[in-house]
Structure 1
Amino acid sequence: MKDQKLSSVIPAVWHSQLRRMRTLLSGYKRAYTIQGALLNLSELASGIKEMREFYPAIHQLLNQQLRADNFYVALIDQDGTFRPEYFADEKDQQILLDAPSEAFASGLTGYVARRGKALLCDEAGFHRLVQEGQIQAQGSAPMHWLGVPLCRGERVIGVMAIQSYQADAGYNEHDLALISHIAIHTVTAIDRVRSRELLEQTVRERTQQLRNTNDSLQHEIRERSHAEMLQAALYKISELTAASSDMSSFYREVHSILSELLQADNCYIALLDKDGQQLNFPFYLDQYSPTQKQRPLQRGLTEYVIRSGEARLVTQVQLQQLIQSGEVERQVSNPGYQPMCTSWLGAPLQIGNQILGVIALQCYDNSHQYSEQELVLLKFVSQHIAVAISRKLTTEQQKQHHEDLEKRIFERTRELRQTNLFLRLQVEERKKAEEQLFFEANHDALTGLANRQMFLMQLKQRFSYRNRDSATNFALLFIDLDRFKLINDTLGHHIGDLFLIEVSRRLQQAVREHDLVARLGGDEFVILLGKIQHEVDAEEVAERLIESVRQPMNLEGNQVCSGASIGIACYQNWYQHADELLRDADAAMYQAKSFGRNRFVIFNDSMRSQMLQELGQEQALQQAVQQRQFQPQLRPLIAAESTDLVGYQASLSWLQADATQQQELSRQATQAGLMPDIELMLLQQLSSMSSQWEQGAVLCLSLSPAWLSNHLLLDKLTQQLHQSALPLHQLVLGFTEADLLRLSATQLANLHQLKRLGVRLSLDQFAAEVAALGLLVQYPFDFVVLDTAFSRSLPRSESRRQLLQVLQQLAQSRQFKLIAGHAEQKEIQQLMAQAGGYYFTEQPVAVAVQQSGLFQQLA
């Protein structure tokens, strides 16, 4: 009979264990799926250069993990406008393309952005939100919709969503967890891709600037060539002036030289006689008119230039206008056929204020039209021709002119050479900048060690070689420095930087040359030990590193002592990804820190189980925050002298937690970064009960130090206090003595800012360790709450009663009230009555409420 009972029990145990193993296997698969998706997302952010390629890659990544045929990403600009970055929808593709920002703001997208929380919604939930007025229907109604906010810190910068129009293609909590993790890392990936895109755009702009500079240089080179050509022409004219004795040959040479610079098929030179009444033509070349020798002054174009004293460019239209106005009369020297010129260019031959004559060029067809530049050129050349004609009068002037021109050309040539040299230097600087950019992208700017990107690349490369080398054996050391924050806060950031540099030097000296030392950030370092024989080799290196770091350092006259906590993870065949090895080394390092300073811990299977347990507890806490499973628990505050109820102390209570979770609530919430959210929730709940408070009753609430050390959190707290219906003078915000002693003076200054808002401040758990009287003198506390152990020991400790008297005198001078954290004994109550203080009691809230008439609904 006993055997039968035993046989029936054993299968039941097996089935229970089998179910448990299946549950664990399912959790491992989900974690593996999420880790794989995040790894792929990291690879996308590292490989893709433009945002237009990034979002389709994310879409493809989601499709590999779940049903995401309908997917979009909408970002929120600084002014709150929604901007669709990417969308793919089988029904409303065109609607999404033309949708304004208000459509996203009033729909499910805006609903998720306003709440800052993920939303898993089916068709019924969608219609319910529409009926409640939470959203407005936009486009086709989805059968299933899943959206998560994209957050940068506390700020929502966009929404990522997928939806399905098929009833059998729904989403579950696992899909929500997957897309939530992807959304968290998508923000970082977006910033990385955009930073890379901005860098490439900057490089392109700089390259374009260099091209523009090169084009400008080429233009200047052409101008220089033209100047050299002009200078050559002037040199020839100068040589003619000195060598030619026959004026006819001189004019022919002048025309030949001029033909190299301008269109001069029809050209003549007209000179005034001594009386200024006749025009002589020492050179006349025209394809339609015969050679002229001389004629009296008339109203031709030549006389028009002499009258104005300036070079003129006359087109055919302008010539007609001059003839019609009577300024010019057309002179026809060939009665048979002489067409009107289509473009005429003339310049006076002038020395000082004296006009010697005119040099003119003309065309009779539209094959060439003179330009303003040619006008300037002819005007310039005409001056030298005039100088050539009056050689005796202008020899010295011509010489000086050539010297000045040579000087200008020399200066310009020197400038061009300097510009060319500057461009070459810029090209070299650009090469150096590219090399520097590559180095900075893969090395830490402070220590010169490899950074996270370079280290992960080397670690992944080591994993890729494991299939080629069956004897692969290496280890990863994760190092965290002890007391770095204290060194940085007390001695300054400069000494902190010198400390990190010295530690980096010691780490490099303690390992082999082929081992990789990298800085991940802050005071975290990693070392990749390659080609080790046994785990004991890694242990020896860790001991050597700890001994090296713990040696005192002399930094600019300051002796600094520190230590190192090291986590070791040795490569095993079951590791599939490099991130797994880094994760386990990190976990071992935290285990080493929990044991004390200057220790190392090797990762093992028991630590993995503990990590999974911690992860489960943290997920339960996050779920409790989302479901608002917290409410205030009240303790009465009694005036010791009159025994009247003057207020309450509100503490945190987790409704659905067991004893262990309730006991570990503060530590886990602080470690997960959720304590500010929980405390803000608690403050909102107390504010909603403001109508139930009697006038003058105070409410004491202890807060975490994160509100003082983070400006964003302080701003959020300030905003909540402004919106609170609870009178601020009845609210007492407290911070523990131990927390305040760990903050810097700058962070403690935020206590004054809270005081200016109108709330009261309390110093909680005072005298738990050190009894820092300096805090009471420097900061405006209204209440000082004595530590519970301190309060209980007052009847039997003379030294602590003496300290209480000191605090009583200080309270009178600084105008704050003392509160005993625990005063169930009559002796303690009498001591607090003598000090004019208060005490907290463990009396049930319902009894206290009945006596005072406060909080009837809570009771």
Structure 2
Amino acid sequence: MKGSTELNKRQRHTDDKLRRLTFLAKRYKQAYLIQNALLRLSELASTISDMREFYPAIHNMVSDLLHAENFYVVFYDSATEQYTPQYFSDQKDQLIIDQVPSSAFSSGLTGYVARSGKPLLCDTEQFATLVRDGHIEAHGSPSAHWLGIPLCRGNQVIGVMAIQSYNEKHRYTESDLAVCSSIGGHTLTALDRVKSRELLEDTVRQRTRQLQKINSSLQKEIKERTNAEQLQVALYRISELTASSSDMNSFYRAVHQVLSGLMPAENCYIALLNSDRTKLTFPFFLDQYSPPPRERPLSKGFTEYVIRCGDARLINNDTAAALVEAGELRRSVAEPINNARYSTSWLGTPLLIEQQVIGVIALQSYEQSYKYSETELSILRFVSQHIAVAIQRKLATEQQKRQQEELERKVFESTRELRQTNLFLRLQVEERKKAEQKLFYEANHDALTGLANRQMFLQQLKQQFALSKRQSQLNMALLFIDLDRFKLINDNLGHHVGDAFLIEVSKRLLSTVREHDVVARLGGDEFVVLLTSLMQTTDAEDVAERIIDKVRLPFFLQGQQVTSGASIGIAQFQSEHTNAEALLRDADAAMYQAKSMGRNRFVIFNETMREQMLQALSIEQIIQQALEKQQFTAVFEPVLCGQARNLMGYELHTRWQHPQLGTQYDFSQHITDAGLLPKIEQLMLQQACHHLAVSDSNIGLLTVTLSTAHLQQADLYDQLKQQLSGLEPKHRLCLAFTEREMLQADNAIMTPLRQLKQLGIRLALHNFAADAAPMGLLLQQLFEFVKLDATFCRQLPRSEHKRQLLQMLQSLAVSYKFRVLADGVDNADLLNLLLAEGCCFMQGKYVAELLSAQALASSPSVVFQQLA
């Protein structure tokens, strides 16, 4: 009995030891599994950089440890109480997960674990109990067993990781729960590492794309600037060829060389219409596969299509097929004659003279690898304008020469027999007539230009004045012309160039008037034009505009290119004029008024001008007193974005409110003569800075015009910088300088301009095209705004040349990043014309009427916000 008891004790001891060993083995196995899982988790965090790969890898790792065919991870935001599925893999509910709302997770087992913050093992019975007690609601397909653990960052639950089984044979244990809890605690750390790496790599990729985009933009800008410079050089070269080429063939070859520098031009031709516009001739033809064609009648080719359209066209294979189908083209015969093959890309633009097509210049490519672009089409369109003018000029010259030769031949043949019999008598008569004509000519004509001199002009003026007194219906006007920059040309380039300049001016003046009008040179650079038998009073203004346009064109004199302008005073004949000298005096007074307003313009005389001249000295004294009493105030003229009918900003003008004289605007010449202009400009700039400082952003851009003295004189420039130092924001202020002063100033002003631009101040070039329209100033890329002269804008409706210049400016504006602003918009027709030409910024009387004071005060939209 005793031995049996001892045996039982040993047996129990052995069983206890075996249970402890079994328990330790399970603990070691579980520790091993957890450690292995953590090592795999660390490896995943180190190797995976994409969250889309991380969650499937976690799922695979859990599946290797447990039965986890159905696995999901949901994040929880305690601030918004929203649940967001990050990964979801389920046998039954996989297809409907996108339609599951956040509330389904909140009221289910997921929300229960998130709220409790504790792991959960749940079978069907426990699930039913929780539903019955109201802790959860049933959603989705019912599972046989469910295991979920909270994902915590510190003490805050940020999500839930769960696995579930739909099979009763696969149930989870407390050991499985411990393994999942250990994995879940380190999953967040691995998740943060993967997200950080993903964020870093995404940041690197974004920065790389930004750098690539910036580099692409810089390359594009460099290419655009290079193309613009090449185009400018090409246009200057064509202008030189127009004047220097001895014959048309050499001119065509030289133009082709210029085109070859801008674009591929191996296949190029020029086609011209004959006099009755029924046939095409080809004065220049260069092609890889075709010999030079002969004259041929019009058909339905590419060339005729451009002639019918009257505009440039780019035709590729697809375009050609569509035009053939529409009946516009026939390609049974290759263009322009029988070729060995069709062109794959064709570029053509009409040659226009006074809006009439005289021919076509075309380029074509036979290679599939190269096709012309819209950029090359624009270049060819610019070039064609100059080519058309040159062709017309040279053809007219050659035709005139042929006609003269033919006339001389006929005269010679008809008078050959009479020449011998009447030779002696004719020589005597001609010698006497020449002597008389020479004496008369020398006494009444200018020796340099051949125009009527002062003596002859006064005689003609008195005769016409007497005739107009007797016949009041005969309208008469007198134009007094003074040339700009003549003294500068004469002093810098020499008197021989100055004489050549005056001769060329006289020719241009004669080309602007009728045969019975009188053109005379009074002396120096002063000319007069007497216009008689005028139909309307505005005819004199039209002649003045033509003279200004003619004189504004460049002069090529003895290898030198010079530019000038004309200030014109117009005096209309009135019954109050007592003598001819009074009419000349009035025209002279109007001319000085035109010069004081900025030159390169005309002014019609009125009675106030003479009074202003007599009061000039006293007005200067009054201006000095007005400056001391600060009687100068700022007036704001609105600037419109015509496309959107919105306000861009204002231009500041100076108004003088005198107690006795009243409101004065036109006193700039008196201020300049008195040397007070910089002080008044400083006063206006001070008012502008104050207005920007106290107003909100709805004021937009505020423009103040300054003289270049502020850039040339060190003390004035220091005062200017001091005024601008405290201004914020600086980009709402724009400083404007006139074209005339910029041309007269030296290159030293470029450094102060760049310093102002670096400070953030915007710069503008005002009164552009008032004198010479210098493109070189625009290529400096200093000015963000270029305001066209008001007179230039008013002449756009009736001047094709000025519209072409505007189109060229619009193209340069795109390449050199500036905006074109039109002044003098006084009617709706001019506004619509400017909008059609692509110029959307403008100001003038009509603009001020559109933007009433009430509308400006309440406008919530300001274009300046888009420019900033």
Q: Which bracket does the TM-score occupy, shorter chain normalised?
A: 0.3 to 0.5
Normalising by structure 1, report the TM-score.
0.35
Normalising by structure 2, report the TM-score.
0.35
